């Protein structure tokens, strides 16, 4: 249960992804063909493969890539002091492998692999498998904490704030912003939306906006987790960007 797990053993994670190329025509021919087959499976009759690629390719690890991994972890600067949520962003517009390796180094250098639990909103369906798939693409060894290929869903030890809200109802989906509204968690109303990330990355070339979105997603996920514990929300001074 959330209220029994030490906060210091949890790493909150959010990834930001985009299509591997700005447009479908810029993708290598074999992947273009693979996407056209995928577009048929998506059964979106009103959208062309090109339009679907622009709006949805970033959601699939076969056709997308990770440009930002934001994480948050609890730290107590003084033995009797308040906990801080330290938020770190790892990002590179050109080198996805570098981002993945920096993330793995953080896992290995800072945390006990046996007690560490990752936490993300919809992490078991999206963030965690996406990370693993992109690691395979780059031949980056998957760290033990993410090595759960072949395991049943209930055998994956990590935490998912969406799953925790489901209470066993697998069809009950809820967005992070909805939970933030329910629990009266402050968010940035001008924050970049997921549907806008691709254009901001390829057209505006503004990685900072995307980094800010990732950091805010991590902070909101941590705040939701605090409310699941019936604990007070973190104050602004307890949230530190590092």
> Could you give the domains of the chain?
2-20+63-241 (3.30.420.10)
Query: pLDDT per residue over 98-155, tens digit each?
Result: 999 999 999 999 998 889 999 999 999 999 999 999 999 999 999 999 988 777 767 7
Largest CA distance in the chain: 60
Exposed/middle/buried for residue 137 (C-beta within 10 Å: 0-12, 13-18, 19+): middle
- Strand order of the sheet with strand 84-91? 159-160, 117-120, 10-19, 64-75, 84-91, 239-241
Ranges of the chain with pLDDT below 70: 1-4, 44-46, 153
Query: pLDDT per residue over 149-165, tens digit each?
Result: 777 767 778 999 999 99
């Amino acid at each position: 249960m959330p209220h029994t797990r030490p906060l210091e053993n949890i790493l909150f994670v959010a990834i930001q992804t985009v299509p591997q190329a700005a447009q479908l025509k810029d993708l290598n021919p074999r992947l273009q063909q693979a996407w056209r087959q995928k577009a048929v499976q998506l059964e979106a009759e009103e959208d062309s493969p090109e339009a679907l690629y622009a709006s949805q390719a970033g959601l699939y690890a076969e056709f997308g890539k990770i440009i930002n991994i934001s994480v948050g972890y609890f730290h107590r600067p003084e033995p009797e002091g308040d906990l801080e949520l330290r938020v770190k962003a790892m990002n590179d517009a050109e080198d996805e492998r570098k981002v993945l390796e920096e993330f793995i180094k953080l896992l290995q250098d800072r945390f006990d692999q046996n007690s560490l639990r990752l936490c993300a909103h919809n992490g078991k369906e999206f963030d965690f498998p996406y990370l693993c798939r992109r690691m395979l693409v780059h031949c980056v060894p998957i760290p033990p904490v993410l090595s759960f290929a072949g395991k049943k869903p209930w055998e994956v030890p990590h935490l998912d704030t969406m799953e925790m809200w489901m209470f066993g109802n697998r069809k009950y989906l809820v967005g992070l912003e909805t939970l933030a509204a329910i629990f009266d968690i402050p968010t940035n109303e001008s924050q970049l939306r997921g549907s806008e990330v691709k254009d901001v990355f390829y057209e505006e070339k503004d990685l900072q906006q995307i980094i800010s979105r990732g950091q805010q997603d991590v902070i909101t996920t941590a705040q939701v987790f605090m409310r699941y514990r019936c604990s007070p929300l973190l104050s602004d001074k307890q949230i530190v960007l590092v």
